[in-house]
A and B are shown apart, each in its own frame.
Chain A
Amino acid sequence: MRSMTELKLMKGNEALAEAAIRAGVDGYFGYPITPQTEIIEYLMTERPEKRTGMVVLQAESEIAAINMVYGAASTGKKAMTSSSSPGISLKLEGISYLAGAELPAVIVNVVRGGPGLGTIQPSQADYFQSVKGGGHGDYKLYVLAPASVQEMSDFVEDAFDIAFKYRAPVLILSDGLIGQMMEKVILKPQKQRMTNEELIEKYGDWAVTGRKGRERNIITSLDLKSEKMEARVHRLMKKYEQMEKEDLRFEKINCDDAEYLIVAYGSSARISQKAVQLGRAKGIKVGLLRPITLFPYPKQALFELADQVKGILSVELNAGQMVEDVRLSVEHKVPVEHFGRTGGIIHTPEEILEALEQKIIKNGSIKHHKSRESSIL
């Protein structure tokens, strides 16, 4: 029975696609690109239009797909798209419009190495793009970073809940490793797609659902009156403040007695967890802080941990991006260094532990403002 929870062995991309059907998503619009093509492939094979009435459409381009999402979201429907790094760059204009027009939508980025066409292997080099705007204007995305196939599945519904709660686009920031690997996954029961009546009751009467006697609902990101536009920007900023207060998510592993800290998200968090185990086996008291949301960011947790630990290593599959947010969060209380591989190479747990020993533990006596050298291998 599809309505029961089910245990399966699935790729991260497939688990996400199946979760989209089960979450009662109304429309998926996408365009193939490695390493996320299994999402559209799975959806096309599953024929969700027969299971729930969900629309799955391969657009003529990434840009068309994101604008289809804009259209569907304007009518109050649960709409999503997915792509990988270069494709997300193409979608950024549309994402900015979604944020400006205050529309709920879910965007999935299964990151590959860049810049440019880069490589098809895993990377986390789209951190800046995801949390520092990416598109134009004063906006932020709520960003979820899954670290397992189970989270690829669970975060779809979570993402739509947030998207509708705030009427804002939400990004699921995965990567080629989490997207392509297989693990056990418990699938949630099938949810019904939301009706217009349910939408209005739960989230208000904002969508363009046919006027029927009420005032017109207008969906736009354009406000030529400066005062009105500024009010809109302030409204957005209020949402982001509320997200920080109510919907921040992170996980602490082995932090209680930690003298050293690794900060890592997504695939790097999984690999770092093994590095923590290896370190503990050697007698190094190291813990892991895993941001589950990248915006909002666990600033306060890091600020507090900085009073406890002697140094922090930010582990990312990139040349050093999240490390800036770690440094901002700890306000120079302890040394913060970066370690990461690029180009599609995945760091091993042994490499991470070695980096912790070399960059943080060994350099413990050196004042941290002196050591700001490049950390790329």
Chain B
Amino acid sequence: MTEEIIIAGFGGQGVLSMGKILAYSGIMQDQEVSWMPSYGPEMRGGTANVTVILSDEKISSPYLKIVDTAIILNQQSMDKFEESIKPGGILIYDPNGITAHPTRTDIKIFQIEGTKLASDMGNKKIFNMIILGGYLKLKPIVKLENVIEGLKKSISERYHDLIPLNVEAITMGINNIVPYKVEDHMFQN
């Protein structure tokens, strides 16, 4: 099994930490992992993205052009990464702030209202965990207990009391990801 993922959005949305938690979850189940951030000037207020690979085999290139799954959290990233998904692959996006929705018909597209759900739950910081939950519903490549272990490893001990809230957010994501059919919206775009 090899899963290649790109997570892309604004700096501050928790893109890099979401990738880190996913990578740590992979380690918890003895997988090879790589986490390759874009750390350029874009990190200072613009877009941020990270490529995460989980595999049962040794990972060659940590940097990829084509991925299995793209998790897209803003319009700039949609413009840049919709094309980067393998035919048959998965695109997950939060429609909040998206003006030009995806148009590819050779991939599976899903929406998750992460921004809205986080706001409803009263904590915008758990946005990335909601998105992660949605992803794990579609690709249960890591077990929830390993995600919890991954969370423990990647966040400072003094915040460990927030783990139940994070688990709640993941569950919220699992229950709220919905398919998006390009065909149904062809005349709206």
Chain A residues in contact with chain B, CB under 8 A? Answer: 7, 9, 34-35, 119-121, 176-177, 180-184, 267, 270-277, 344, 346, 348-351
Pairs across A and B, CB under 8 Å, 6 listed: A7-B27, A120-B41, A273-B61, A274-B60, A274-B61, A349-B61
- Which residues 3-21 of B sit at the A interface, judged by CB distance below 8 A? 20
Give chain B residues whose Cβ lies under 8 Å from the Cβ of A180.
36-37, 39
B34 pairs with A183, CB closer than 8 A: yes
B40 pairs with A121, CB closer than 8 A: yes
Give chain B residues whose Cβ lies under 8 Å from the Cβ of A351.
65
In the complex, per-residue mask of B89-116: 1 if CB is within 8 Å of any chain A CB, else 0 = 0000000000000000000000000000
Give chain B residues whose Cβ lies under 8 Å from the Cβ of A348.
63-65
Q: CB < 8 Å: which of A9, A34, A181, A272 contacts B62?
A: A181
Known A9-B24, A181-B34, A182-B34; judge A273-B40 contact (CB<8 A).
Answer: no
CA distance A271 to B60 in the complex (A): 6
CA distance A121 to B61 in the complex (A): 17
B35 pairs with A181, CB closer than 8 A: yes
CA distance A162 to B27 in the complex (A): 33
A270 pairs with B61, CB closer than 8 A: yes
CA distance A275 to B66 in the complex (A): 12
Known A9-B23, A9-B27; judge A184-B61 contact (CB<8 A).
Answer: no
Known A7-B27, A182-B23, A350-B66; judge A344-B36 contact (CB<8 A).
Answer: no
Chain B residues in contact with chain A, CB under 8 A? Answer: 20, 23-24, 27, 32-37, 39-41, 59-66, 153-154
B37 pairs with A9, CB closer than 8 A: no
Give chain A residues whose Cβ lies under 8 Å from the Cβ of B37.
180-181
Known A9-B24, A350-B66; judge A344-B61 contact (CB<8 A).
Answer: no
A182 pairs with B20, CB closer than 8 A: yes
CA distance A184 to B58 in the complex (A): 11
**SS of B interface (majority):** mixed
- 10 shortest A-B CB distances, which residue pairs? A274-B61, A348-B65, A273-B60, A182-B35, A274-B60, A271-B61, A181-B36, A350-B65, A183-B34, A346-B63
Give chain A residues whose Cβ lies under 8 Å from the Cβ of B60.
270-271, 273-274, 276-277, 349
Give chain A residues whose Cβ lies under 8 Å from the Cβ of B59.
183
CA distance A276 to B35 in the complex (A): 21
CA distance A274 to B27 in the complex (A): 22
CA distance A119 to B189 in the complex (A): 38
B34 pairs with A35, CB closer than 8 A: no
Q: By CB atoms of chain B within 10 A, which of A177, A183, A350 has the most?
A: A183
A177 pairs with B66, CB closer than 8 A: no
Give chain B residues whose Cβ lies under 8 Å from the Cβ of A275.
61
Q: By CB atoms of chain B within 10 A, which of A35, A121, A184 has the most?
A: A184
Give chain B residues whose Cβ lies under 8 Å from the Cβ of A272.
61
CA distance A346 to B59 in the complex (A): 17
Q: CB < 8 Å: which of A9, A271, A350 contacts B153?
A: A9
CB distance from A352 to the nearest CB of B (A): 9
CB distance from B83 to the nearest CB of A (A): 12
CB-nearest residue of chain B to A10: B35
Q: By CB atoms of chain A within 10 A, which of B24, B61, B65 has the most?
A: B61
Q: CB < 8 Å: which of B35, B39, B40, B63 contacts A9?
A: B35
Give chain B residues whose Cβ lies under 8 Å from the Cβ of A184.
27, 32-33
Give chain B residues whose Cβ lies under 8 Å from the Cβ of A181.
34-37, 62
Give chain A residues whose Cβ lies under 8 Å from the Cβ of B153.
9
CA distance A346 to B66 in the complex (A): 14
CA distance A180 to B38 in the complex (A): 9
B20 pairs with A9, CB closer than 8 A: yes
CA distance A53 to B65 in the complex (A): 45
CA distance A9 to B27 in the complex (A): 8
CA distance A197 to B97 in the complex (A): 67
CA distance A119 to B60 in the complex (A): 25
CB distance from A228 to the nearest CB of B (A): 49
Known A9-B24, A180-B39; judge A349-B32 contact (CB<8 A).
Answer: no
CB distance from A287 to the nearest CB of B (A): 14
Known A181-B35, A182-B23; judge A271-B63 contact (CB<8 A).
Answer: yes
CA distance A349 to B67 in the complex (A): 12
CA distance A183 to B54 in the complex (A): 10
Q: CB < 8 Å: which of B27, B36, B154 contacts A177?
A: B36
CB-nearest residue of chain A to B59: A183
A9 pairs with B61, CB closer than 8 A: no
Give chain A residues whose Cβ lies under 8 Å from the Cβ of B35.
9, 181-183
CB distance from B43 to the nearest CB of A (A): 10
CB distance from B79 to the nearest CB of A (A): 18
CA distance A120 to B63 in the complex (A): 17
Give chain A residues whose Cβ lies under 8 Å from the Cβ of B40.
119-121, 344
Give chain B residues whose Cβ lies under 8 Å from the Cβ of A119.
40
Give chain A residues whose Cβ lies under 8 Å from the Cβ of B33.
9, 182-184
CA distance A346 to B33 in the complex (A): 20
A349 pairs with B27, CB closer than 8 A: no
CB distance from A234 to the nearest CB of B (A): 43
CB-nearest residue of chain B to A344: B40
CB-nearest residue of chain A to B36: A181
Give chain B residues whose Cβ lies under 8 Å from the Cβ of A344.
40
